[in-house]
Structure 1
Amino acid sequence: MSLDLTWLPTALNLGLTGFVFAAHLLIAARALTRPNRTPASRAAWVAVIMLAPVAGMVAYLLLGETNIGRARVDRIEHAGKRMPSPDDAANAPSAVPDHAAPLFELARSINGFHAVGGNRIALLGDEDSAADDPKRDCRLAIDALVADIEQARESVHIAFYIWLDDGAGGRVADAVADAARRGVACRVMVDAFGSRAFIAGERWKQLGGAGVKLLRTLDDLNRLQHIAFSRMDLRDHRKIVVIDNKIAYCGSQNCADAEFRIKPAYAPWIDLLLRCEGPVVRQTQFLFLSGWIPETGETGLDDYPDAATPQRFDEDCIAQAFETGPVVRHNAMSDMFAACIYAARRELTIVTPYFVPDESILRAICAAPRRGAATRLVFPQRNDSWFVGQTCRSTYADLLRAGVEVYEYPLGILHTKAMCIDGEVALVGSANMDRRSLDLNFENNLVIADRALVAAIRRRQDKYLSVSHRVALDEVEAWPLRVRLVQNAVAMMSPVL
């Protein structure tokens, strides 16, 4: 008597179909109910999951949640509790501009630092260089960085998203290796994805051979055992250099030539870098170590930010460092951008390479000219991300109708991230106005209240503006229907970019 198994394939198919259907509903429900997600983001993810069930479910599992892994969060929180925050009370400014005070208070709510006075902060570059030679400022910034590393006596701490083995990257690497050989404690951490070519090259090995302590941040997120528990495309986008606990660098510049040979078609990359001295350096040191200690487990560094009493310089130069990312409260960077924009009364100038704003930022920008603040936005004319470029241009009509002046910079990727408010306050750092910086990446920034420095940054922005094309509303309205359809279709999916 033979056993009839003809029913088995049908049963297996039914079981598999039922499993996929149940998983489909559960993942869609998760996308709808996940905390800290905007309605637009929920709608975009549910649309992806429903329209492309299998691909949508896989995409959501890999990319849908800003999860860095419970173990890593625990390590970061434990290190943060062990490290005493910099003693800012002794360096409190005597007075803070009225509309800067709420911005400093908001930044304090993110990392716990207070605004500190007595800093000396310089915008690196040549103020007299021609507007059509933007690479000069980038070269001079690297020159200053190398010179400071060559003078280091105690420590050199560096964090970059992208480090390339090119002219600038090689010079910095050689200076760090030389510092390590003469006994300076050198620690270098780079993003495992952004600096993958550098990590695989000879310079990385040479740094290790010279005695430099090296760290590839977030290098485990693409491993199979982590994919199910953490998002695989999180990035450490910070740009931090701290030398001898006395000098810090902050800005948008990676450790690479302006020619940026990994994307030469879009070169040059135009950046802005600040050199800082004074009490704000300790805050920047804290940010570096709060990333280093949890990943390496190195001991003896908990009190290092307070190891030296900071020298005081200009009492009117008030600054505050802060950091955002997957382990701080949701919307922290978006809140900071929006608060700075709403603080503008007379003038607001924003330079950013990647503009994929959430609703709060876009509304804040559109409201600025309506209350009388002259508002200018400067973007690169060509973007190295097609999706970001399309989404950015989808906002032009709304911005222009609100009275915002929109400019496109034609000489390369304008990679600077700088906002100036009323000639009194500036926000400078690594964060873009896109969903990656708002929700996913580790970012570091400075809020600064110093009229002289803000004026210097504004002059740099004016240099960008002098060669940029001002976009007119009739120009945007004349775009073909197919162009606008593509832009708006891509923009609809911006919450999942």
Structure 2
Amino acid sequence: MTILFHYSLVNLALMLLDLAVIVRIMLRPHRDPASRIAWIVVVTLLPVLGILAYLLFGEVSIGRRRVERLRAVLAGLPKIHADGAAVILERQENLFRLGQSISGFQPVGGNKARLLADSNATIDAMVADIDAAKDHVHLLFYIWLPDNNGRKVIEALKRAAARGVTCRAMADDLGSRSLIRSAHWQDMRQAGVRVANGLPIGNPLVRPFMGRIDLRNHRKIVVIDDRITYCGSQNCADPEFLVKAKYAPWVDAVMRFEGPIARQNQVLFASDWMSRIDEDLGELLRRPPPVPASDGFPAQVIGTGPTVRFSAMPEMFEAALFAARREVVISTPYYVPDETLQIALCTTAYRGIDTTIIFPARNDSWIVSAASRSYYASLLEAGVKIHEYVGGLLHTKSLTIDGEVTLIGSANMDRRSFDLNYENNILLFDPTVTAAMRQRQMEYIAGSKPVSKEAVAAWPIYRQLWHNSVATVGPLL
């Protein structure tokens, strides 16, 4: 009788705990209905494991202290204003206005940019700019490996620091753990490079109760002397990417910018740096901004993350799709959209826009690979052209509109980039630069295999079931 009584008490306690978690799921802000339903089902069917999973992965929080510090940092940063004339076509104004509502950055004119040839050329260009730096070098990478390219940048920073250039280097504590825990990290510090690990994990057993352990700083930012900046998909590593070598080469695209746009990336870097390190970079941001080029183009930094407005990145993608009048070309390695983005992409094709999207044929994430293919049938039915790149893991995140507008950066078209990661992108209006990006996208297509409606329809039932089953748990990710 005593055992039965204790068993009943345990069951009652578990039921009350289940109910409390379900109420919390229902009360959490910014959670779409599909996600609420999915988590309620998991918690109900798997009471103990479901509750544990929700506590670890169910809420988007980097921790109260981190949020408070970041907000204080942002409130104290000086406001920057667009001094360069930003001439934008009327049909694109709303797109840039949306971008401004996300990060507070106005589109600024007078910028120059060039698309770099490949991953190795990108690192070589960064090293050359670091070697030529006069005042400061700021770097932030999600993944920074102590491989050939990674060490090239390390040595360039050490040389710059020896010349008296102020060097600040930041890397995500999870993505760059192999470098941060290596002798190279200490060597940089001893050489005078100021280093910081972003979003430190600390004790992995305690960290989940202070904020989600998988909320990461996915940004890739380089700013040199406040006038040069880089933006794109590439981490600081070799294209062979030894941590996941079987998918190599990793194919990335990066642009090197000069002009006032560098100041906007500077603000993003400063906010990340100051939220981790007790060092005020406000004086640097109060300096006169870079002089705009008379024949430069308008551009705007889009910085998103779990402490920025909810759904900011999907809003940006959707607005770009609806701004198109003739053509949209997209490349992304990870496609697990929310419902509105999937509908927006289909709608773009339905309204007669030539819509193309390029994915990698082999993905380093089996979950994303399966989930993304569950959306193929609807996309193809709407008229979206799908290509799967076979020359390596296509890691480039790019979007071009009508041969005029480019969006390039670190954000993927998946829920991790939408809700969990800090990302940085640059939106620009320039036919010449966009033509270069458009040509690169065509090279990706030339190295791809087209996916047809007939081929997808012929997939065996078990494969369709697998894709759709994995996509069903997408709202939990």
Q: TM-score range by the shorter chain?
A: over 0.9
**C-alpha contact 1:221 1:227 (8 A) present in aligned 2:** no
* Structure 2 residue corresponding to 1:146, chosen from 99, 124, 127: 127
Q: Distance in 2 between matches of 1:309 and 1:251?
A: 22
Q: Distance in 1 between matches of 2:162 and 2:400?
A: 41
* Structure 2 residue corresponding to 1:471, chosen from 451, 456, 461: 451
* Structure 2 residue corresponding to 1:98, chosen from 69, 72, 90: 90
Counterpart in the other structure of 1:298: 279
Q: Distance in 2 between matches of 1:43 and 1:314?
A: 54
Question: Amino acid of the residue matched to residue 182 of structure 2?
Answer: G
Question: Amino acid of the residue matched to residue 274 of structure 1?
Answer: M
- Cα distance, 1:226 vs. partner? 3.8
**C-alpha contact 2:81 2:106 (8 A) present in aligned 1:** no
Counterpart in the other structure of 2:389: 409
Counterpart in the other structure of 2:464: 484
Structure-to-structure mapping, 1:307-322, within 5 angstroms: 307-322=287-302
Structure-to-structure mapping, 1:323-334, within 5 angstroms: 323-334=303-314
1:419-464 CA-partner distances (Å, limit 9, x unpaired): 0001111111000001100000000010100110001000000010
* Structure 1 residue corresponding to 2:10, chosen from 13, 16, 23: 16
Q: Distance in 1 between matches of 2:283 and 2:44?
A: 51
Q: Distance in 2 between matches of 1:32 and 1:487?
A: 28
Q: CA RMSD in A?
A: 1.3
1:348-379 CA-partner distances (Å, limit 9, x unpaired): 00000000011111001101121111000000
Q: Distance in 1 between matches of 2:329 and 2:375?
A: 17
- Cα distance, 1:98 vs. partner? 1.8
**C-alpha contact 1:221 1:232 (8 A) present in aligned 2:** no
* Structure 2 residue corresponding to 1:289, chosen from 260, 270, 273: 270
* Structure 1 residue corresponding to 2:318, chosen from 338, 341, 347: 338
Question: Amino acid of the residue matched to residue 84 of structure 2?
Answer: N
* 1:218 aligned onto 2:210: no
Q: Distance in 1 between matches of 2:170 and 2:368?
A: 27
* Structure 1 residue corresponding to 2:180, chosen from 199, 204, 224: 199
* Structure 2 residue corresponding to 1:364, chosen from 322, 332, 344: 344
Q: Distance in 2 between matches of 1:256 and 1:195?
A: 10
* 1:113 aligned onto 2:105: yes
* Structure 1 residue corresponding to 2:244, chosen from 258, 263, 276: 263
Q: Distance in 2 between matches of 1:213 and 1:12?
A: 57
Identity across the alignment (%): 46
1:316-359 CA-partner distances (Å, limit 9, x unpaired): 51100021001111001111111111111100000000000111
**C-alpha contact 1:208 1:214 (8 A) present in aligned 2:** yes
- Cα distance, 1:115 vs. partner? 0.2
SS in structure 1 at match of 2:321? helix
Report how many residues are paired. Answer: 477
SS in structure 1 at match of 2:110? coil
- Cα distance, 1:314 vs. partner? 4.8
Question: Amino acid of the residue matched to residue 101 of structure 2?
Answer: S
* 1:392 aligned onto 2:372: yes
SS in structure 2 at match of 1:311? coil
Question: Amino acid of the residue matched to residue 11 of structure 2?
Answer: T
* Structure 2 residue corresponding to 1:57, chosen from 21, 34, 51: 51
Gaps of 5+ in 1: 1-5, 126-136
Counterpart in the other structure of 2:142: 161
Q: Distance in 2 between matches of 1:360 and 1:306?
A: 40
Question: Amino acid of the residue matched to residue 91 of structure 1?
Answer: G
Q: Distance in 1 between matches of 2:37 and 2:185?
A: 44
Question: Amino acid of the residue matched to residue 81 of structure 2?
Answer: D
- Cα distance, 1:180 vs. partner? 1.1
Q: Distance in 2 between matches of 1:82 and 1:462?
A: 44
Q: Distance in 2 between matches of 1:424 and 1:374?
A: 15
Q: Distance in 2 between matches of 1:221 and 1:324?
A: 24
Q: Distance in 2 between matches of 1:82 and 1:404?
A: 45
**C-alpha contact 1:164 1:255 (8 A) present in aligned 2:** yes
- Cα distance, 1:11 vs. partner? 3.6
Question: Amino acid of the residue matched to residue 229 of structure 2?
Answer: A
- Cα distance, 1:224 vs. partner? 4.1
Shift in CA distance, 13/347, structure 1 to aligned 2, threshold 3 Å: same
Range with bigger deviation, 404-413 or 315-324: 315-324
Gaps of 5+ in 2: none
* Structure 2 residue corresponding to 1:377, chosen from 334, 357, 360: 357
**C-alpha contact 1:326 1:439 (8 A) present in aligned 2:** yes
**C-alpha contact 1:87 1:306 (8 A) present in aligned 2:** no
**C-alpha contact 2:174 2:201 (8 A) present in aligned 1:** no
TM-score (norm 2): 0.98
Counterpart in the other structure of 1:131: none
Q: Distance in 2 between matches of 1:283 and 1:272?
A: 20
Counterpart in the other structure of 1:133: none
Range with bigger deviation, 245-254 or 42-51: 42-51
Question: Amino acid of the residue matched to residue 92 of structure 2?
Answer: A
Q: Distance in 2 between matches of 1:203 and 1:341?
A: 43
Question: Amino acid of the residue matched to residue 407 of structure 2?
Answer: L
SS in structure 1 at match of 2:119? helix
Question: Amino acid of the residue matched to residue 208 of structure 1?
Answer: R
Question: Amino acid of the residue matched to residue 183 of structure 1?
Answer: G
1:46-72 CA-partner distances (Å, limit 9, x unpaired): 122122221111010011000111111
- Cα distance, 1:223 vs. partner? 4.2
* 1:426 aligned onto 2:418: no
Q: Distance in 2 between matches of 1:32 and 1:310?
A: 48
1:71-115 CA-partner distances (Å, limit 9, x unpaired): 111111111111112222x2232x211222111100110111100
Shift in CA distance, 314/63, structure 1 to aligned 2, threshold 3 Å: farther
SS in structure 2 at match of 1:428? strand
Q: Distance in 1 between matches of 2:205 and 2:101?
A: 36
SS in structure 2 at match of 1:372? coil
* Structure 2 residue corresponding to 1:69, chosen from 53, 63, 66: 63
- Cα distance, 1:404 vs. partner? 0.4
- Cα distance, 1:17 vs. partner? 2.0
TM-score (norm 1): 0.94
Question: Amino acid of the residue matched to residue 92 of structure 1?
Answer: A
